[in-house]
């Protein structure tokens, strides 16, 4: 299961927004990756996410594979919506 998102909050995925997103991903058993500008990282790894340098307005793709992928995608989608509003 995969979905694209535009990260529109003022900070992109740096510091606190990245930490909260990684925390949300870690609530699920599925493998979750994030891709930005051709680079892919484990969404459950704060260092991996920060290494992507996702700036405001960036397009990212999230891929989720596993038994709870549907629930995980719903939660991640909602979380990104909330991040983008801040």
Q: Which positions are catalytic?
A: 14
Residues 6 or more apart whose CB falls under 8 angstroms from that of 66 comprise 28, 29, 30, 31, 72
Residues 6 or more apart whose CB falls under 8 angstroms from that of 42 comprise 31, 32, 33, 48
SS3 content of the chain, % helix, strand, coil (to 5): 40, 30, 35
């Amino acid at each position: 299961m995969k979905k694209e998102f535009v990260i529109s909050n003022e900070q992109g995925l740096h510091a606190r927004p990245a930490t909260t997103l990684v925390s949300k991903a870690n609530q699920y058993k599925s493998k979750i990756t994030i891709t930005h500008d051709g680079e892919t990282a484990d969404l459950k790894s704060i260092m991996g996410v920060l290494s992507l340098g996702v700036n405001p307005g960036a397009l990212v793709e999230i891929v989720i594979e596993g038994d709870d992928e549907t629930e995980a995608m719903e939660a991640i989608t909602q979380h990104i919506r909330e991040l983008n509003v801040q």
